[in-house]
Amino acid sequence: MAQKIELGLDTFGDVTFDAAGELLPQPQVLRNVVAEAVLADQVGLDFFGIGEHHRRDFAVSAPEVVLAAIAGQTRGIRLGSAVTVLSSDDPVRVFQRFSTLDAVSNGRAEVILGRGSFTESFPLFGLELDQYELLFEEKLNLFTELLKEKPVTWSGETRGALNNQSVYPPTETGSLRTWIGVGGSPQSVVRAAHYGLPLMLAVIGGSPLAFEPLVALYHRALAQFEKPTQPIGEHSPGYVAATDAQAREEMWPHYAAMQERIGRERGWGPVSRERFEHDAGPDGALFVGSPESVATKIAAVAKGLGLSRFDLKYSLGTLAHEKLMTSIELYGTRVAPLVREQLA
């Protein structure tokens, strides 16, 4: 049987270079993100996701606002976060913002909830990092109650209680598509299954097929909790150009600089060109190369993990907007048809 898959794009609004090699101001980066999403819609892609960050190197701190701007200029593409850091937000406000986005986009909104791989939002909003786990667990519990779109009674330690309160606006269909984003923690996989929510795997290193045990765990946990089968997606970095060599040469300096910058904060060593070449190869987590190479790799991983969606994290540090636009066009017009052909 043919395997159906949605093909999407994710961005964090990475602050990019201009033609002269200077960093663009964040307001221009935000306008560029809107243009990139409009192109993604024009070339027939299924999803456009925007991640939330509160840093100098990423321009998007309010994804729903940017997504609303995109909604007004697009017609078919689904729009969502990648991810919403629920731990440092309020579940009621998150639901309201995305149900509003769902209304103005005619039902195209979805949300990917996660704990976030950066922690700047915690001190920014007056939250303690020693409550990292508790904040996410309680807020996710409340959010799943809000998804029922009925009056909610709820209490916990991290926010005020709700007593038979309704939250507005509701969605027209009574259903807001909600994923749980995970980075490889079995506990997070089981949590997604416990709430019966789709699973989005953030595969940014190693071999994507090494996540197969987590996929198996997810299926077992869904069965144990007596939940119906749910979609599984993957988010991975990548870049498409005319040839493998061109894609790797254009991506490498910007990817290396981004990894080194974040690595200095987290105590990582610098990424080597040898490691980059390995990760860009058939078994690695970087989907970089010609349309044929990227499509073959996506199709193989989709088969191996049983994916219902693959999202290419196409923004790569300071790599220029014009290069990203070319990559998006190739992804939509060349990669997507090839992937669907190989999965047919």
pLDDT digits (tens, 9 = 90+) for 79-97: 999 999 999 999 999 999 9
pLDDT score at 267: 85
Name the band, by pLDDT with cuts 50, 70 and 90, for residue 178. Answer: very high
pLDDT at 266: 85
Is residue 65 scored above 70 in pLDDT? yes
Which candidate, 40, 25, 21, places its Cα nearest to that of 312?
40
Using the predicted structure, report yes or no on whether residue 182 has a pLDDT greater than 70: yes
Residues 6+ apart with CB under 8 A from 201: 182, 184, 211, 214, 215, 232, 233, 234, 235, 305
* Higher-scoring residue by pLDDT: 269, 305: 305
- Tell me the two tokens of residue 245: 């060599």
> In the structure, what pLDDT confidence band is assigned to residue 27 with cuts at 50, 70 and 90?
very high
**Residue pLDDT, tens place only, 265-280:** 888 888 899 999 999 9
Q: Give all strands (DSSP E) within 105-230, no chain letters.
A: 109-114, 152-154, 162-165, 177-182, 199-202
Q: Tell me the pLDDT tens digit for each residue of 250-270.
A: 999 999 999 999 988 888 888
Per-residue pLDDT of 198-231, as tens digits, reads 999 999 999 999 999 999 999 999 999 999 999 9
Rounded-to-10 torsion of CA 188, 190, 196, 202: 40
Position 41 pLDDT exceeds 70: yes
Contact in structure between 310 and 8 (CB atoms under 8 Å): yes
Average pLDDT on 140-148 reads: 98
Helices 212-224 and 291-305: angle between axes, nearest 10 degrees: 40
Encoded tokens for 333? 């017009």
* pTM score over 0.85: yes
Averaged pLDDT for residues 297-302: 98
* Mean pLDDT score, 43-68: 97
* Ramachandran angles phi, psi of 51, nearest 5°: -85, 155
- Reduce the DSSP state of residue 333 to 3 states and report it: helix
The confidence band for 26, taking pLDDT boundaries of 50, 70 and 90, is very high
Residue 1 has what pLDDT? 67
Beta bridge partners of 182: 201
Q: How confident is the model at residue 117 (pLDDT cuts 50, 70, 90)?
A: confident
Phi and psi torsions of 20, nearest 5°? -90, 5
CB-based contacts of 9: which residues, under 8 Å, 6+ apart?
36, 37, 40, 45, 47, 48, 49, 311, 312, 313, 314, 328, 331
Query: Is the backbone of residue 164 left (phi > 0), alpha (psi -120 to 50) or beta?
Result: left
Q: Which residues contact 125 (CB under 8 A, 6 or more apart)?
A: 88, 89
C-alpha distances out from residue 171 to 98, 108, 143, 272, 287, Å: 9, 11, 14, 47, 35
User: Distance between CA atoms of 329 and 316, rounded to whole angstroms?
Assistant: 16
Interatomic CA distance for residues 21 and 64, integer angstroms: 30
- For 188-207, what is the mean pLDDT? 97
